[in-house]
Structure 1
Amino acid sequence: MATLPTRSPIRKRLDRAGIALSALCATHCVLALVLAGAFGGLLLSPVFHEAGLALAVALGIVGLGIGVARHRRFGVLLPAAFGLCLMALALMADHGPVEAGLTIVGVVLLAFAHWSNLRRAR
Protein backbone atom coordinates (compact mmCIF):
# COMPACT_ATOMS: atom_id res chain seq x y z
CA MET A 1 0.00 0.00 0.00
CA ALA A 2 1.39 3.40 -0.97
CA THR A 3 1.74 6.01 1.73
CA LEU A 4 1.09 9.67 1.21
CA PRO A 5 4.13 11.91 1.52
CA THR A 6 4.16 14.10 4.61
CA ARG A 7 4.73 17.26 2.64
CA SER A 8 2.61 16.56 -0.40
CA PRO A 9 2.84 19.62 -2.66
CA ILE A 10 -0.68 18.97 -3.96
CA ARG A 11 -2.14 18.78 -0.45
CA LYS A 12 -0.31 21.94 0.56
CA ARG A 13 -1.66 23.73 -2.51
CA LEU A 14 -5.19 22.56 -1.78
CA ASP A 15 -4.99 23.77 1.83
CA ARG A 16 -3.56 27.10 0.72
CA ALA A 17 -6.27 27.39 -1.93
CA GLY A 18 -8.86 26.67 0.77
CA ILE A 19 -7.46 29.47 2.93
CA ALA A 20 -7.37 31.85 -0.04
CA LEU A 21 -10.93 30.96 -1.04
CA SER A 22 -12.06 31.60 2.55
CA ALA A 23 -10.44 35.04 2.48
CA LEU A 24 -12.01 35.80 -0.88
CA CYS A 25 -15.42 34.70 0.38
CA ALA A 26 -15.19 36.85 3.52
CA THR A 27 -14.12 39.82 1.38
CA HIS A 28 -17.07 39.22 -0.94
CA CYS A 29 -19.46 39.22 2.03
CA VAL A 30 -18.12 42.48 3.42
CA LEU A 31 -18.19 44.14 0.00
CA ALA A 32 -21.73 42.92 -0.60
CA LEU A 33 -22.84 44.57 2.64
CA VAL A 34 -20.97 47.82 2.03
CA LEU A 35 -21.74 48.15 -1.69
CA ALA A 36 -25.19 46.58 -1.74
CA GLY A 37 -26.79 49.73 -3.15
CA ALA A 38 -24.35 50.13 -6.01
CA PHE A 39 -23.61 46.53 -6.98
CA GLY A 40 -26.21 44.58 -5.02
CA GLY A 41 -27.56 42.59 -7.95
CA LEU A 42 -24.16 41.36 -9.03
CA LEU A 43 -22.63 40.75 -5.59
CA LEU A 44 -25.75 39.14 -4.14
CA SER A 45 -26.27 36.70 -6.99
CA PRO A 46 -26.97 33.18 -5.70
CA VAL A 47 -24.50 31.85 -8.26
CA PHE A 48 -21.58 33.30 -6.25
CA HIS A 49 -22.78 31.68 -3.06
CA GLU A 50 -23.62 28.28 -4.51
CA ALA A 51 -20.41 28.03 -6.54
CA GLY A 52 -18.34 29.20 -3.57
CA LEU A 53 -19.88 26.61 -1.27
CA ALA A 54 -19.42 23.84 -3.86
CA LEU A 55 -15.76 24.78 -4.30
CA ALA A 56 -15.25 25.01 -0.52
CA VAL A 57 -16.77 21.55 -0.04
CA ALA A 58 -14.59 20.08 -2.81
CA LEU A 59 -11.39 21.66 -1.47
CA GLY A 60 -12.33 20.61 2.05
CA ILE A 61 -13.00 17.00 1.17
CA VAL A 62 -9.91 16.55 -0.96
CA GLY A 63 -7.40 18.79 0.83
CA LEU A 64 -8.40 17.97 4.37
CA GLY A 65 -9.07 14.34 3.49
CA ILE A 66 -5.55 13.81 2.17
CA GLY A 67 -4.08 15.51 5.23
CA VAL A 68 -6.13 13.52 7.72
CA ALA A 69 -5.33 10.29 5.89
CA ARG A 70 -1.68 11.09 6.43
CA HIS A 71 -1.48 12.59 9.91
CA ARG A 72 -4.52 10.78 11.42
CA ARG A 73 -5.59 13.79 13.48
CA PHE A 74 -9.30 13.91 12.89
CA GLY A 75 -9.75 17.03 15.00
CA VAL A 76 -9.21 19.27 11.97
CA LEU A 77 -12.46 17.95 10.52
CA LEU A 78 -14.67 19.36 13.30
CA PRO A 79 -14.13 23.09 12.57
CA ALA A 80 -14.26 22.32 8.84
CA ALA A 81 -17.61 20.55 9.11
CA PHE A 82 -19.07 23.21 11.38
CA GLY A 83 -17.82 25.95 9.06
CA LEU A 84 -19.33 24.29 5.99
CA CYS A 85 -22.64 23.85 7.84
CA LEU A 86 -22.71 27.55 8.71
CA MET A 87 -21.94 28.44 5.10
CA ALA A 88 -24.77 26.19 3.89
CA LEU A 89 -27.12 27.71 6.47
CA ALA A 90 -26.19 31.16 5.17
CA LEU A 91 -27.52 30.15 1.74
CA MET A 92 -30.96 29.85 3.31
CA ALA A 93 -30.83 33.24 5.05
CA ASP A 94 -31.96 36.51 3.53
CA HIS A 95 -29.19 38.71 2.18
CA GLY A 96 -27.86 40.98 4.87
CA PRO A 97 -25.92 40.95 8.12
CA VAL A 98 -27.15 37.53 9.28
CA GLU A 99 -26.14 35.86 6.04
CA ALA A 100 -22.78 37.65 6.03
CA GLY A 101 -22.16 36.78 9.69
CA LEU A 102 -22.90 33.09 9.19
CA THR A 103 -20.72 32.98 6.10
CA ILE A 104 -17.80 34.85 7.65
CA VAL A 105 -17.77 32.69 10.78
CA GLY A 106 -18.04 29.61 8.55
CA VAL A 107 -15.14 30.57 6.30
CA VAL A 108 -12.97 31.49 9.30
CA LEU A 109 -13.57 28.03 10.77
CA LEU A 110 -12.84 26.38 7.43
CA ALA A 111 -9.66 28.43 6.94
CA PHE A 112 -8.58 27.46 10.47
CA ALA A 113 -9.10 23.79 9.58
CA HIS A 114 -6.95 24.15 6.45
CA TRP A 115 -4.28 26.01 8.43
CA SER A 116 -4.33 23.29 11.11
CA ASN A 117 -4.04 20.67 8.40
CA LEU A 118 -0.93 22.41 7.05
CA ARG A 119 0.61 22.53 10.53
CA ARG A 120 -0.20 18.89 11.29
CA ALA A 121 1.66 17.70 8.20
CA ARG A 122 4.98 19.09 9.45
Structure 2
Amino acid sequence: MAQIAPWIRGKLDRVGMILSALCLLHCVGTLVLVAGLGLGASFLLDPAIHKVGLALATVVAGVAIGLGALRHRRAAPFVVAMMGLTFMGGALAAGHGAHEAVLTIIGVTLVAGGHLLNLRHA
Protein backbone atom coordinates (compact mmCIF):
# COMPACT_ATOMS: atom_id res chain seq x y z
CA MET A 1 0.00 0.00 0.00
CA ALA A 2 2.89 2.37 0.74
CA GLN A 3 4.01 2.09 -2.89
CA ILE A 4 0.51 2.64 -4.32
CA ALA A 5 -0.31 5.84 -2.41
CA PRO A 6 2.49 7.98 -3.98
CA TRP A 7 1.50 6.72 -7.44
CA ILE A 8 -2.17 7.57 -6.88
CA ARG A 9 -1.31 10.94 -5.36
CA GLY A 10 0.95 11.84 -8.27
CA LYS A 11 -1.74 10.91 -10.79
CA LEU A 12 -4.35 12.89 -8.85
CA ASP A 13 -2.05 15.94 -8.71
CA ARG A 14 -1.68 15.76 -12.48
CA VAL A 15 -5.46 15.34 -12.90
CA GLY A 16 -5.99 18.33 -10.59
CA MET A 17 -3.66 20.46 -12.69
CA ILE A 18 -5.46 19.42 -15.89
CA LEU A 19 -8.87 20.16 -14.33
CA SER A 20 -7.57 23.58 -13.23
CA ALA A 21 -6.40 24.31 -16.77
CA LEU A 22 -9.74 23.21 -18.21
CA CYS A 23 -11.56 25.42 -15.72
CA LEU A 24 -9.37 28.36 -16.68
CA LEU A 25 -10.09 27.74 -20.37
CA HIS A 26 -13.80 27.51 -19.59
CA CYS A 27 -13.77 30.86 -17.76
CA VAL A 28 -11.81 32.73 -20.40
CA GLY A 29 -13.61 31.01 -23.28
CA THR A 30 -17.01 31.77 -21.79
CA LEU A 31 -16.15 35.44 -21.40
CA VAL A 32 -14.99 35.63 -25.02
CA LEU A 33 -17.92 33.68 -26.47
CA VAL A 34 -20.68 35.25 -24.41
CA ALA A 35 -19.42 38.84 -24.20
CA GLY A 36 -17.78 39.01 -27.62
CA LEU A 37 -20.06 36.88 -29.75
CA GLY A 38 -23.19 36.39 -27.65
CA LEU A 39 -22.98 32.59 -27.99
CA GLY A 40 -23.58 29.78 -25.53
CA ALA A 41 -24.73 31.79 -22.52
CA SER A 42 -27.39 29.31 -21.39
CA PHE A 43 -24.98 26.35 -21.37
CA LEU A 44 -21.64 27.95 -20.52
CA LEU A 45 -23.00 30.06 -17.66
CA ASP A 46 -24.99 27.20 -16.11
CA PRO A 47 -24.36 27.30 -12.33
CA ALA A 48 -24.27 23.48 -12.23
CA ILE A 49 -20.95 23.50 -14.14
CA HIS A 50 -19.37 25.60 -11.41
CA LYS A 51 -20.83 23.58 -8.54
CA VAL A 52 -19.70 20.27 -10.04
CA GLY A 53 -16.27 21.76 -10.83
CA LEU A 54 -15.80 22.96 -7.26
CA ALA A 55 -16.93 19.63 -5.83
CA LEU A 56 -14.56 17.72 -8.13
CA ALA A 57 -11.67 20.09 -7.38
CA THR A 58 -12.29 19.73 -3.65
CA VAL A 59 -12.23 15.93 -3.77
CA VAL A 60 -9.17 15.69 -6.03
CA ALA A 61 -7.23 18.33 -4.07
CA GLY A 62 -8.28 16.87 -0.75
CA VAL A 63 -7.08 13.37 -1.60
CA ALA A 64 -3.94 14.25 -3.56
CA ILE A 65 -2.72 17.09 -1.40
CA GLY A 66 -3.86 15.40 1.80
CA LEU A 67 -1.86 12.28 0.96
CA GLY A 68 1.09 14.45 -0.02
CA ALA A 69 0.96 16.39 3.24
CA LEU A 70 0.97 13.15 5.20
CA ARG A 71 3.97 11.93 3.22
CA HIS A 72 6.23 15.00 2.94
CA ARG A 73 4.98 16.96 5.98
CA ARG A 74 4.97 20.33 4.23
CA ALA A 75 2.13 22.77 4.66
CA ALA A 76 2.68 24.96 1.59
CA PRO A 77 0.84 22.77 -0.99
CA PHE A 78 -2.12 22.39 1.36
CA VAL A 79 -2.30 26.10 2.22
CA VAL A 80 -2.01 27.23 -1.41
CA ALA A 81 -4.63 24.74 -2.64
CA MET A 82 -7.07 25.57 0.17
CA MET A 83 -6.74 29.28 -0.59
CA GLY A 84 -7.58 28.43 -4.20
CA LEU A 85 -10.63 26.41 -3.21
CA THR A 86 -11.73 29.33 -1.03
CA PHE A 87 -11.54 31.69 -4.00
CA MET A 88 -13.49 29.18 -6.10
CA GLY A 89 -16.15 28.96 -3.40
CA GLY A 90 -16.29 32.75 -3.27
CA ALA A 91 -16.86 32.78 -7.03
CA LEU A 92 -19.98 30.66 -6.55
CA ALA A 93 -21.32 33.25 -4.11
CA ALA A 94 -20.45 36.18 -6.40
CA GLY A 95 -22.90 35.26 -9.15
CA HIS A 96 -22.20 35.43 -12.87
CA GLY A 97 -20.06 38.15 -14.30
CA ALA A 98 -16.57 39.56 -14.14
CA HIS A 99 -16.25 39.08 -10.36
CA GLU A 100 -17.00 35.38 -10.66
CA ALA A 101 -14.51 34.93 -13.50
CA VAL A 102 -11.72 36.76 -11.66
CA LEU A 103 -12.28 34.82 -8.43
CA THR A 104 -12.42 31.52 -10.31
CA ILE A 105 -9.27 32.25 -12.30
CA ILE A 106 -7.38 33.16 -9.14
CA GLY A 107 -8.76 30.05 -7.43
CA VAL A 108 -7.89 27.53 -10.13
CA THR A 109 -4.43 29.03 -10.52
CA LEU A 110 -3.81 28.60 -6.79
CA VAL A 111 -5.18 25.04 -6.78
CA ALA A 112 -2.93 24.13 -9.72
CA GLY A 113 -0.03 25.72 -7.85
CA GLY A 114 -0.82 23.60 -4.80
CA HIS A 115 -0.75 20.46 -6.93
CA LEU A 116 2.54 21.55 -8.50
CA LEU A 117 4.10 22.16 -5.08
CA ASN A 118 2.81 18.78 -3.95
CA LEU A 119 4.47 17.07 -6.92
CA ARG A 120 7.74 18.88 -6.30
CA HIS A 121 7.83 17.83 -2.64
CA ALA A 122 7.13 14.17 -3.47
If the length of structure 1 is used for normalisation, what is the TM-score? 0.92
Identity of aligned residues (%): 48
What does 1:51-90 align with in structure 2 at a 5 Å threshold?
51-90=52-91
Q: For the residues of structure 2 that align with 1:50 and 1:6, how far apart are their CA atoms?
A: 30
Q: For the residues of structure 2 that align with 1:40 and 1:12, how far apart are their CA atoms?
A: 36
Residue deviations 1:8-58, cap 9 Å, x none?
Answer: 221111000000000000100011111112101100001100000000000
Q: For the residues of structure 1 that align with 2:66 and 2:16, how far apart are their CA atoms?
A: 13
What does 1:11-26 align with in structure 2 at a 5 Å threshold?
11-26=9-24
**Residue identity matched to 2:76:** G
- Structure 1 unmatched ranges of 5 or more: none
Count the aligned residue pairs.
119
Q: CA deviation at 1:77?
A: 1.1
- Structure 2 unmatched ranges of 5 or more: none
